[in-house]
Chains A and B, each alone.
Chain A
Amino acid sequence: MVRADLNIIRKEFRAFKGVEHYRGEFLHLLPFNFHRLKDERELLTSITGDYIIAEAGSVDKIINHRSTLDEPFIHDLIAGHFVSYNPPAEQIDILANRLRTKKGLYEIKPALHIIVLTLRCDHTCSYCQVSRVTENKTDYDLSKDQLNLIIEKILDSQESSITVEFQGGESLLAFDNIIYTVEALKERATVRNKKFKFVTCTNLSKITKDQIAFLKENTIAISSSLDGPEFIHNSIRHIKTRDSHQRLLSSLSIIDEVWSRDYVDVLMTTSRLSLKHPKEIIDEYIRLGFRSIFLRPISPYGFALRLESINYGSEDFFEFYQIGLEYILEKCKHGFDLREQYACIVLKKILTPFQDNYVDLMSPSGSMTRVVVYDYDGNIYASDEGRMLAQNRDFTFQIGNINQSWKEIYQNNSSRNILSHSFTELHAACSNCALEPYCGSDPIHHHATQFDIYGNMNDSTFCKRSKFIIEYLISLIEKGDENSEILRSWIH
């Protein structure tokens, strides 16, 4: 090429256009929801789950007076997928990506299979609705024949990465059946192209070294309960010897000695007594070397509702949660490594494009879509709470039994009824709620508390609690102080 030509071309290339040329004329609206916060500011959430907190009156301006919006705010709105100078069709792919990232794993493919090996238990905890203190193995245990059918069902299910959880009663009372199931599933895992993880739920009142050796050899995690210091724990965990807490501690020290604490997770049940002692409970978790605590309210089902010791109002729980979380953050500032699980689940939804597979706070609800429960009698339930209801002769969440094929189970009326009430996106109140991207659907809760599986959100304790926690966490991460930084680091 001749140099003179080159120079002409170079000059043409240098005819740059100003920013106005690229801006576009009209600011289109994309779908979004909004919610007035306690301090009168407005919380806006877009279709992708991005949020913006704006001063009062912003929503009105966005909808009716866009020309009065200032530029930095418009930029925030564009970046959050609230408005666009481009025709919205340009963005469909990325919006679809975001939706897929959030919802991609929500297929009807249970990944958590809970097997209730036995109802027998050495404890008679006040809130428990299912366990039996008995020596009678035949009435309250799964038989080998039933277990074989369950093993087939697990191998037949579509999901390839499956967690099998042994429940009770006290699962260790049926330890031979744990061994049997684990060995049978492991043997056939490769041929059936499955990967298994195992968890066993136990009160750890009398685990033996031999049992631990088997759990260790097969990497079977332990899920247990710790309600706080001795006086709280023992007040709801009843055992004849009245030493549930001590037994737990001595089991933990054996596990520490021959295996590792990394495989033990403990859950807390909040009783009326716990509500007064959030700090003591957290101190106990720290004292015993746990790095995670789940401040969760008790499921208000069946006769749990009628029991004084565990029946309390939402406000009481909120206060407990707030004091508890602030105490945990205080501890973190002093170098302790402790996280609150409820906050972790919600923060991940707020701050990242992902969400955990936490079945009690997702849409569609995880009941049945991600979890199934095989009860001791061979019936299959949509969730653990579903089988509790069945103990009170309410079979709404029984979706079949182990003699049926998955196809039969998923096509019956019971399953359809549950699934069609499992979407926040399809609920008149939830679909317009600004907190919907961070919330979930809980048909069992609404069925059990309102006798209406659809649920009335004006009067729902689930809705009230979710809103409280989500708003509270947003207010904390927006402060921009040390607490915000700690909470933001909990998303991993």
Chain B
Amino acid sequence: MKSQLNLSTQLAWPSQYDESIVARVTSVIDDIISLSGQKIYSKLSVDCIVTHNSNSNNNGSIYIKEKLDIYEGDILFLGLKQARVIFSVQSKTNSIFATVRCNSNCLMCSQPPLEHDDLDENLAIWDTAIDYMPENMDYIGITGGEPTILGIRLTQLLNKLTTKYPNILIDILSNGRRLSVQYLSELHRIHKPYNIKWCIPIYSDVDYIHDYIVQGNNAFWQTTRGLSQVYSAGFQSEIRIVLHTLSLARLEQLAKYITLNYPYVNHVALMGLENIGYTLYHNKLLTIDNYEDYIYKVSKAIIILRNFNINVSLYNIPLCHVPEELREYCRKSISEWKNSYHSDCHSCSKINECAGFFTWNLKLNPIVYPI
């Protein structure tokens, strides 16, 4: 979820509405000082559609109180008093937020799930939003919650995207469990599997430890079957490993397990822990305090995977936190809206290539070593 806008008075609002409106910004006028006695910073002109009534094409204006980076072409989701930017033309890492529901409940979830039925609502929002997206786009992510809970709605969105953008790459962040049974038949209705990469986490080579980390009975074997199903159906696949005490314990063995049991994956991402959501509650359980051991195990795992010609990346880890020989694996992986740098980072020559920090990880007072 991206920046919330606090709305001021709304003028020329399309008729009656009480729920979902998706709007595309057609122009932005900044520096409006005051309107009807309120302080206003920007006036946005928008085209909008009330999603439960797709015939309702309208246009109108929104006045917002803060100065925000909003550009022509951005897509907003509007409520009565608030709006959210759900697609930003400036961003290279836009995501479709599929649902807040999830069938796992990982100990380190950064965006804890909710049992709230938002499936039809989200389909309606994104179905409209895709129409509003720009002509050319080469990447979009799909995240949640667990996107496959959308079921057939997910298939619709994927097919709509690949029809509009034949060369797009779509990353789906899924735990893969439902791919083994519930979503299996849908997999074969997706038109362009090769444009789609399933990014699926495996946290241990020992089934029950993985199950414990994701808090799901039999999750390991469901995910394993899911991975082989997406491979057989011609999709790209990626294994994601969030690094914390529990996954680090057998990281080398997990790397070896991947080379033997999932040799077909296109990529393995080792990911720094995000200090938000459940992680805050499981601080003691998850936080790695032996830095040397951490770097040693990560290096070993990378060597094992590299020897096997599997692509490896390190996500969410600042360059200065890893030894020089591992820096080539680091990626600038944090979405703009939650990405920040330490004040000392500004004297670093590598700041433009560096992932930096999750904004909330800065609360842990990390030390940086400008390069």
Partners in one complex: yes
Query: From A76, which residue of chain B is reached at the shortest CB distance?
Result: B253
* Cα A384 to Cα B195 with chains together (Å): 46
* Cα A16 to Cα B109 with chains together (Å): 12
* Cα A155 to Cα B263 with chains together (Å): 33
* Cα A94 to Cα B218 with chains together (Å): 14
Whether A431 is near chain B, meaning CB under 8 Å from some CB there, is no
0/1 string, A61-78, CB within 8 A of B gives 1: 000000000000001101
Q: Across the interface, do B263 and A19 meet the contact criterion of CB distance under 8 Å? A: no
Contact (A94, B211) CB under 8 Å given A6-B114, A9-B115, A353-B263 = no
Whether B80 is near chain A, meaning CB under 8 Å from some CB there, is no
0/1 string, A117-158, CB within 8 A of B gives 1: 000000000000000000000000000000000000000000
For B212, what are the chain A residues with a Cβ–Cβ distance below 8 Å?
17-19, 21-22
* Cα A78 to Cα B207 with chains together (Å): 8
Whether A253 is near chain B, meaning CB under 8 Å from some CB there, is no
Contact (A94, B261) CB under 8 Å given A13-B112, A16-B215, A78-B207 = yes
Query: From B219, which residue of chain A is reached at the shortest CB distance?
Result: A22
Query: From B260, which residue of chain A is reached at the shortest CB distance?
Result: A353
Whether A10 is near chain B, meaning CB under 8 Å from some CB there, is yes
For A10, what are the chain B residues with a Cβ–Cβ distance below 8 Å?
112, 114
* Cα A94 to Cα B257 with chains together (Å): 12
For A353, what are the chain B residues with a Cβ–Cβ distance below 8 Å?
259-261, 263
Q: Which residues of A (456-492) have their CB < 8 Å from a CB of B?
A: 488-489, 491-492
Q: Across the interface, do A86 and B260 meet the contact criterion of CB distance under 8 Å? A: no
Q: Across the interface, do B263 and A79 meet the contact criterion of CB distance under 8 Å? A: no
Which of B105, B114, B208, B250 is the one whose CB lies under 8 Å from A85?
A: B208
Whether B224 is near chain A, meaning CB under 8 Å from some CB there, is yes
Contact (A23, B261) CB under 8 Å given A17-B215, A492-B309 = no
Whether A1 is near chain B, meaning CB under 8 Å from some CB there, is yes
Tell which of B112, B206, B259 has the most Cβ of chain A within 10 Å.
B206
Q: Across the interface, do B206 and A79 meet the contact criterion of CB distance under 8 Å? A: yes
For A488, what are the chain B residues with a Cβ–Cβ distance below 8 Å?
307
Which of A1, A9, A23 is the one whose CB lies under 8 Å from B208?
A: A23
For B217, what are the chain A residues with a Cβ–Cβ distance below 8 Å?
22
Q: Across the interface, do A75 and B206 meet the contact criterion of CB distance under 8 Å? A: yes
Which of A24, A79, A86, A91 is the one whose CB lies under 8 Å from B205?
A: A79
Q: Across the interface, do A9 and B114 meet the contact criterion of CB distance under 8 Å? A: yes
Q: Taking chain A's interface residues, is the majority helix, strand, or loop, or is none over half, making it mixed? A: helix
For B263, what are the chain A residues with a Cβ–Cβ distance below 8 Å?
101, 352-354
Query: From B220, which residue of chain A is reached at the shortest CB distance?
Result: A86
Q: Across the interface, do B259 and A352 meet the contact criterion of CB distance under 8 Å? A: yes
Whether B113 is near chain A, meaning CB under 8 Å from some CB there, is yes
For B112, what are the chain A residues with a Cβ–Cβ distance below 8 Å?
10, 13-14
For A491, what are the chain B residues with a Cβ–Cβ distance below 8 Å?
307-308
Q: Which residues of B (98-150) have their CB < 8 Å from a CB of A?
A: 105, 107, 112-116
Q: Across the interface, do A86 and B114 meet the contact criterion of CB distance under 8 Å? A: no
For A352, what are the chain B residues with a Cβ–Cβ distance below 8 Å?
259-260, 263, 308
Whether B9 is near chain A, meaning CB under 8 Å from some CB there, is no
* Cα A492 to Cα B308 with chains together (Å): 8
For A9, what are the chain B residues with a Cβ–Cβ distance below 8 Å?
114-116
Q: Across the interface, do A19 and B253 meet the contact criterion of CB distance under 8 Å? A: no
Whether B228 is near chain A, meaning CB under 8 Å from some CB there, is yes
Contact (A97, B228) CB under 8 Å given A21-B212, A352-B260 = yes
Q: Across the interface, do A14 and B281 meet the contact criterion of CB distance under 8 Å? A: yes
Whether B97 is near chain A, meaning CB under 8 Å from some CB there, is no
Whether B225 is near chain A, meaning CB under 8 Å from some CB there, is yes
* Cα A183 to Cα B107 with chains together (Å): 65
Q: Which residues of B (300-350) have their CB < 8 Å from a CB of A?
A: 307-309
For B208, what are the chain A residues with a Cβ–Cβ distance below 8 Å?
19, 22-24, 78, 85-86
* Cα A188 to Cα B218 with chains together (Å): 53
* Cα A358 to Cα B224 with chains together (Å): 30
* Shortest Cβ distance from residue B215 to the other chain A in the assembled complex, whole angstroms: 6
Q: Which residues of B (170-226) have their CB < 8 Å from a CB of A?
A: 205-209, 211-212, 215, 217-218, 221, 224-225
Whether B278 is near chain A, meaning CB under 8 Å from some CB there, is yes
Query: From B210, which residue of chain A is reached at the shortest CB distance?
Result: A22
* Shortest Cβ distance from residue A52 to the other chain B in the assembled complex, whole angstroms: 11
Q: Across the interface, do B225 and A94 meet the contact criterion of CB distance under 8 Å? A: yes
* Cα A181 to Cα B150 with chains together (Å): 58
* Cα A6 to Cα B278 with chains together (Å): 15
Q: Across the interface, do A84 and B307 meet the contact criterion of CB distance under 8 Å? A: no
Whether A90 is near chain B, meaning CB under 8 Å from some CB there, is yes
Contact (A90, B221) CB under 8 Å given A13-B112, A352-B308 = yes
Which of A19, A86, A101, A492 is the one whose CB lies under 8 Å from B218?
A: A86
For A78, what are the chain B residues with a Cβ–Cβ distance below 8 Å?
205-208
Whether A363 is near chain B, meaning CB under 8 Å from some CB there, is no
Q: Across the interface, do B228 and A85 meet the contact criterion of CB distance under 8 Å? A: no
* Cα A21 to Cα B217 with chains together (Å): 9
Tell which of A10, A23, A97, A352 has the most Cβ of chain B within 10 Å.
A97
* Cα A84 to Cα B220 with chains together (Å): 12
Query: From B229, which residue of chain A is reached at the shortest CB distance?
Result: A93
For A489, what are the chain B residues with a Cβ–Cβ distance below 8 Å?
307
Q: Across the interface, do A85 and B207 meet the contact criterion of CB distance under 8 Å? A: yes
* Cα A21 to Cα B105 with chains together (Å): 14
* Cα A9 to Cα B224 with chains together (Å): 29
0/1 string, A14-49, CB within 8 A of B gives 1: 101111011110000000000000000000000010
For A272, what are the chain B residues with a Cβ–Cβ distance below 8 Å?
none
* Cα A419 to Cα B212 with chains together (Å): 47
* Cα A85 to Cα B208 with chains together (Å): 8
Whether A50 is near chain B, meaning CB under 8 Å from some CB there, is yes
Q: Across the interface, do B307 and A1 meet the contact criterion of CB distance under 8 Å? A: no
* Shortest Cβ distance from residue A28 to the other chain B in the assembled complex, whole angstroms: 12
Q: Across the interface, do A94 and B228 meet the contact criterion of CB distance under 8 Å? A: yes
0/1 string, B243-256, CB within 8 A of A gives 1: 00000001001000
For B228, what are the chain A residues with a Cβ–Cβ distance below 8 Å?
93-94, 97
* Cα A445 to Cα B215 with chains together (Å): 55
Task: Provide 30 A-B residue pairs closer than 8 Å at the C-beta atoms, listed in order of the A residue.
Answer: A1-B116, A9-B115, A9-B116, A10-B112, A16-B105, A16-B107, A16-B215, A17-B212, A18-B212, A22-B209, A22-B217, A48-B260, A50-B260, A78-B207, A79-B253, A84-B207, A85-B208, A86-B208, A93-B228, A94-B224, A94-B225, A94-B228, A94-B261, A97-B228, A352-B260, A352-B263, A353-B261, A353-B263, A354-B263, A491-B307
The 3 closest A-B pairs by CB, nearest first: A79-B205, A22-B211, A19-B212
Known: A10-B114, A75-B253. 13 other contacts (CB 8 A): A9-B115, A16-B215, A17-B215, A75-B209, A76-B253, A78-B208, A91-B221, A94-B261, A98-B261, A352-B308, A353-B260, A353-B263, A488-B307
Residues of B in contact with A (beta carbons under 8 Å apart)? 105, 107, 112-116, 205-209, 211-212, 215, 217-218, 221, 224-225, 228, 250, 253, 257, 259-261, 263, 278, 281, 307-309
